[in-house]
Amino acid sequence: MSDAIETHQTELRHFAPSSEFVARANVSDSSLHDAGDADSETYWAGQARELLHWDTEWSKVLDWDPPNAKWFVDGTLNVTYNCLDRHIESGHGSQVAFFWEGEPGDERAITYSQLLEDVSRCANALKELGVQRGDRVAIYMGMVPELTVAMLACARIGAAHSVVFGGFSSDSLRGRINDAEAKIVITCDGAWRRGGVVALKDIVDEALLDTPTIEKCIVLRRTDHGNEMTDGRDIWWHDLVDRQSPECIPEPMDAEQLLFILYTSGTTAKPKGIMHTTGGYLTGVTSTFRSIFDIHPDEDVYWCTADCGWVTGHSYIVYGPLANRATSVLYEGTPDYPDKDRFWAIVEKYAVTILYTAPTAIRTFMKWGVEYPGAHDLTSLRLLGSVGEPINPEAWIWYHDVIGGSKTPIVDTWWQTETGAVMISPLPGLTTLKPGSATFAMPGIGVDVVGDDGRHVGIPGGGYLVLTKPWPSMLRGVWGDPERFQETYWSRFPGLYFAGDGARYDDEGYMWLLGRVDDVMLVSGHNISTAEVESALVDHHAVAEAAVVGVHDPTTGQAISAFVVLKNDHEPSKALEKELRIHVGNLIGAIARPKSILFTDDLPKTRSGKIMRRLLRNVADDETLGDTTTLADPGVVARIKDRYLSVDAEDDEVDDLEENQK
């Protein structure tokens, strides 16, 4: 069945919320949407005032000088007071903040009171090392509770954290540390992955060979596998943090104080340091978490399966849930260790009621079969969520029926690192769902689909997804590069934020996301720049030129397909293909490794030398070739296609994260 037919058929299916769900939902009528549509500034001021504690209220809700925004001008608050102290003061200190499950099976239940003490100790440790308001702290850890502690400790004293995903290479880590000019790096000796150790400290040591701003490295003992400690620079967490006072007064921060920098791929080889600030960001994630996930903090156990190295972990593992006094699950490992039922065993063990995961994971579970979830009691689940990329209708239905028992609503969310919080999503007590559609904009958010001229395409109609007005959790810029901020997000359609995604309205006005339209690939829900992967390939001594494209993949949404021109003294081989994959993994990380590599004598280029990646996508997806008349050599694409179809591209399932450690 083609995607078009599948989508058309599923559009005919509607899933209205049950009367039981509506009866107790946080949002069950259109009042929030009505308020947000009527006056978004007044709406967001109301959300900020109702949901958060402010030390000083703002003098102005929004100062908008496109594309630069300031929200809640002159207002002050502390993020960690809103996430921790106020809940304890209201009598909820003994409530569990995180149930943590280590991959080997060790576990902890961390209460709000315990978490506050841990955060205070870590904050005091940072202050002892000279970290001050405005300094940057890099964090490179596995999914252990101390990762969230380190993030919150930075927020408590006004230092900006820059979390780097633990699967990234030493080069990627070094580049992010140097770009942010981080003063401290916090890491683990190692992390558990499928029963083995990922030697994080070794990767950090390699990165720190050329990071002039780093003064100290704090190391948490997790795997205890033995590693080198550099005198004068490296400090064990237990020697520094554990001896600190469990009290640290939360400092009021200006609403526009930088909270964190998070790097994401763009259309150039250099990742963008996305900046998020304190008041607007916390307002956005607190409000959206409450309404989308329908949280009832005295009853629910919530689990977002993401990693804190991505924005999903920032917004919907740490800040949004804690500000709403949620009880959450943290899991260190992979979904297939020690067996392919690990996720479902965790759901059953902790009686998880709300599960938020990615379409890539859902499609993988589908391939593994229903016997794995079928072996566990999943009846505690009352709400499911999807994040990271558009979810295809077939996966939506499987998720709803097999995991949700044909009774749970699914909140299919669209947002980005740049938006900070969810922009498009159903509200589960209000919205009638269509499998595969993210449905409608969130209250107070302006969303539209426009054509090449920047005008509304009409209903039905397809085009480019844009945001039409400022929102509190919006990015405040690209660290150190205001020109790139303007050029990347605000130049394509003046006055509109261009998300880089395509979308369409169906005949009922529901929104359907269509994926990236620029030179950024969406692999397992994560942005990977074509330029970044191409640069990594050309870095190899055998490669003269390279071009990569994102192609359709039934599991990951998109996969990376590389087209490589070798230098004259090198010959194509399976061994070199594998070597290039490992090379890319070493330079960027496992997620950037090409799924397929085709060696070719040339690349399709215009007479001006521009590579026509559109034609390579046509080849990789076995589509009809478009116009080739502008090419310097019109026959090159046909030669590539003939070779592509004759090569049996292997689906190499080797995990670079593990391979890099061997």
Token representation of residue 188: 């683990």
Residue 549: its H or E element: strand 543-553
Unique residue bearing structure tokens 């629910």:
300
Q: CA-based angle 315:331:226, to the nearest 5?
A: 115
Secondary structure in 3-state letters for 88-126: HHCCCCCCEEEEEECCCCCEEEEEHHHHHHHHHHHHHHH
**From-to residues of CATH 3.30.300.30 in the chain:** 520-659
Query: How many angstroms from the chain centroid is the CA of residue 172?
Result: 17
CATH 3.40.50.12780 residue spans of the chain: 3-467
Instruction: Report the sign of the C-alpha dihedral through residues 24, 25, 26, 27, in that order.
Output: negative
* Exposed/middle/buried for residue 232 (C-beta within 10 Å: 0-12, 13-18, 19+): exposed
Q: What is the pTM of this model?
A: 0.84
Structure tokens at 229: 């400690």
CB-CB contact of 159 with 248 (8 Å): no
In whole angstroms, give the CA distance from residue 409 to residue 387.
14
**What is the architecture of the domain spanning 520-659?**
2-Layer Sandwich (3.30)
> For the structural domain made of 3-467, what CATH number should be given?
3.40.50.12780
Distance CA 153, CA 383 (A): 31
Sequential DSSP letters for 5-36: HHHHHHHT--BPPPHHHHHH-S--SSHHHHHH
Other residues' Cβ atoms within 10 Å of the Cβ of residue 339: 11
> Would you state the pLDDT for residue 625?
65
User: Is the CB of residue 615 less than 8 Å from the CB of residue 625?
Assistant: yes
DSSP string, 607-662: TT--B-HHHHHHHHTT------TTBSSTTHHHHHHHHHHHS--------HHHHTT-
Query: What whole-number distance in Å separates Cα of residue 466 and Cα of residue 454?
Result: 9
User: Based on C-alpha coordinates, what's the Rg of the chain?
Assistant: 24
| pLDDT average per 10 residues of sequence, the chain (662 residues) | 40 85 96 96 98 98 97 98 98 98 97 98 98 98 98 98 93 95 98 94 97 98 93 97 98 97 77 96 98 98 95 97 98 94 98 94 90 98 92 91 97 96 98 96 97 93 94 97 95 94 92 80 77 84 88 86 88 93 90 91 68 79 62 73 59 37 30
- The whole-number pLDDT of residue 606 equals 59
